[in-house]
């Protein structure tokens, strides 16, 4: 049985964008040091407010007062393990939506075990590339660090399997594939620019943007769809102004900030099936 109210459309994405900018949610991002600065700038440009707190003394406390939480496993360390677990536990306890980005979970066992441990606190959304989604579900293989060597369509079964532990899951790629609890539909998000793969932090910051949208939308699937569409449309607009990675990064931040409801309606590609 499909809950049609849980199925995102272009209209719900537009509504989510309006809410994001009206409410400026505070996103607690426990993310990797490679992408932290860019992630903060993406959140600010899109309409959210970032906080990068990962020390064990404060991570759990802050996760309980933030509007949403991101836990990104790009550069995990033993010293941060308790911060991740404490933040996830606090988010669940306080009803704070949170997102797990299981970078490298498909090919690196230590962080894969950590990601599975975090799943016990039921994230609002899991956002990863296809290999990470497959690896996290336990089917193994395919992971090459932060790169994806699997097609998102191949990760759909694993994504559906992860719904036992998460409200919604996305497998990113040329066409993003999204699934959510309460509905048996598959949502595909098209569009975007290949230049996104030439700038460090675009995938990590997408996870943070999902968290921002989770703070202003009714379910994880809508949050995933809104974030993926926002990124796809903004990257297309940015790519029309430049063909080089450095200038694209700047143009992308500008486009995240400037994208309008009309841009979303005119360029957004949401297919439900």
pLDDT at 149: 58
> Tell me: the pLDDT tens digits for 119-149?
999 999 999 999 899 989 984 444 444 445 5
What is the C-alpha to C-alpha distance for residues 5 and 26, in angstroms, rounded to an integer? 26
Q: Residue 85 has what pLDDT?
A: 98
Reading phi first (left if > 0) and then psi (alpha if -120 to 50, else beta), residue 239 is in alpha
Q: What is the total count of domains within the chain?
A: 1
Q: Which two tokens stand for residue 258?
A: 């400037």
- Give the residue numbers spanning the domain of 173: 4-272
Segment 138-193, tens digit of pLDDT: 844 444 444 455 789 999 999 999 999 999 999 999 999 999 999 999 999 999 99
Domain CATH code at residue 261: 3.40.1190.20
Please tell me the distance from the alpha carbon of residue 98 to that of residue 68, in angstroms, as a whole number.
6
Which residues are CB-contacts of 40 (< 8 A; sequence separation ≥ 6)? 29, 50, 52
3-state SS record for 4-18: HHHCCCHHHHHHHHH
List the 26-30 sheet strands across, edge first.
49-51, 26-30, 68-72, 98-101, 125-129, 168-172, 176-180, 187-190, 269-272
Strand pairing partners for 190?
Answer: 269
The average confidence (pLDDT) of the chain is 93
């Amino acid at each position: 049985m499909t809950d049609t109210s849980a199925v995102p459309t272009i209209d719900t994405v537009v509504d989510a964008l309006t809410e994001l900018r009206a409410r400026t949610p505070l996103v607690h991002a426990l993310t990797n040091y490679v992408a932290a600065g860019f992630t903060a700038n993406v959140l600010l440009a899109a309409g959210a407010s970032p906080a990068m707190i990962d020390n064990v003394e404060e991570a759990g406390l802050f996760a309980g007062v933030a509007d949403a939480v991101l836990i990104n496993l790009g550069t995990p360390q033993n010293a941060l393990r308790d911060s991740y677990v404490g933040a996830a536990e606090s988010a669940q306890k306080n009803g704070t939506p949170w997102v797990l980005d299981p970078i490298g979970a498909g090919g690196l066992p230590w962080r894969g075990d950590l990601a599975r441990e975090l799943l016990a606190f039921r994230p609002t959304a899991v956002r990863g590339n296809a290999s990470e989604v497959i690896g996290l579900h336990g089917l193994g293989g395919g992971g090459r660090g932060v790169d994806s060597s699997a097609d998102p369509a191949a990760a759909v079964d694993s994504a559906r399997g992860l719904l036992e532990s998460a409200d919604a899951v996305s497998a990113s790629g040329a066409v993003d594939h999204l699934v959510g609890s309460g509905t048996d539909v598959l949502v595909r998000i098209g569009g975007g620019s290949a230049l996104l793969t030439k700038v460090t932090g675009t995938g990590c910051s997408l996870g943070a943007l999902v968290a921002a949208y989770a703070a202003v939308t009714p379910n994880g699937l809508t949050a995933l769809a809104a974030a993926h569409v926002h990124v796809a449309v903004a990257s297309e607009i940015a790519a029309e102004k430049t063909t080089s990675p450095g200038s694209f990064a700047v143009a992308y931040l500008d486009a995240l900030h400037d994208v309008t409801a009309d841009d979303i309606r005119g360029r957004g590609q949401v297919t439900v099936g």
